A and B are shown apart, each in its own frame.
Chain A
């Protein structure tokens, strides 16, 4: 197995980012325009024009902030999984020509999604500051939460990527699962409206723990559920371990198959 190469990862991340906006007049500015437009929709359209209110809070923009706090991390999480799932097939031309370590493709996707996430969060913070939102100490936990969420996304993505080489349906199945997962996680609706049975099931939904942590930090100025986060950390690492063991076991076959 070839070792991870930092300069290679940075190079393909740069190229990935440049390719996304290649040929457009505004170029990389689109990376800022998109989050601004999305946040405008969440906060102004949903919060102010449609008048959606968050139960238990008096703030007018609370629902918009609640939406943004859930959708920004979810977008990074789901994009990482779906892009990782097809990484080996999509980067076939690189894998077959350059002797590169396959996990570096996962890391470059993570890095690329992290840039988008960072820009979105930056725009979100600027909007919150303009609205006079108070920033609390709990925000210090955001990098750790993000790190955990991306590790989980990478472990699931690696597992799907290995399977996708042999069974091409995995890419489509991943898309379907992510769509169902989105609606099974309280991102656009509030956790409290769920019936009791579903609420109990939510304890087994890792995305719910992550998204709720963000919502607690941004909207309710509260601490994330630490106990659940510790459990999720252990589960994530076990998943990452098994995904990697499976990948190592099949690496030669993956290269032959491609």
Chain B
């Protein structure tokens, strides 16, 4: 359940950012800000998704040890 929730919230945040940039920012820099927002959005999906997935899979099984909890919180998994 965590993964769809994350994707929904993250996409919601992205659209809120889009709306703000479109409304509040002058057109000269708007496009560059949109590019930055896009980059953060997509990189964020691919960075946080596996970390959340790993976190969720551990929660479904046995409780993680203190060491695992620290490693999940401080060093989210990236990569395949």
Contacts and interface: CB of A to CB of B under 8 A. Distances in A.
Interface in B52-80: 53, 78-80
Nearest to B77: A226
Contacts, number: 52
Q: Size band of the B side of the interface?
A: 20 to 34
B46 interface: yes
A226 B39 contact: no
A162 interface: no
Nearest to A228: B80
A230 B46 contact: yes
Contacts of B78: 226-227, 230
Given A137-B3, A233-B42, A225 B80 contact: yes
B31 interface: yes
B13 to A, nearest CB: 14
Interface stretch (A144-152, A166-174, A186-194): A144-152
B53 A223 contact: yes
B50 interface: yes
Interface in B29-50: 31-32, 35, 38-39, 42-43, 45-47, 49-50
A223 B46 CA distance: 11
Contacts of A227: 78-80
Interface stretch (A12-20, A79-87, A236-244): A236-244
Contacts of B46: 144, 226, 229-230, 233
Q: Size band of the A side of the interface?
A: 20 to 34
Contact of B47 (A3, A151, A226): A226
A140 B35 contact: no
The A contact surface, by secondary structure, is helix
A234 B39 contact: yes
Contacts of A225: 79-80
A45 interface: no
A147 B3 contact: no
6 contacts: A141-B45, A148-B42, A225-B80, A226-B47, A226-B50, A244-B35
Interface of B: 3-4, 7, 27, 31-32, 35, 38-39, 42-43, 45-47, 49-50, 53, 78-80
Given A227-B78, A227-B79, A227-B80, 10 more contacts: A137-B4, A141-B49, A223-B53, A223-B80, A224-B80, A229-B46, A233-B43, A237-B35, A237-B38, A244-B31
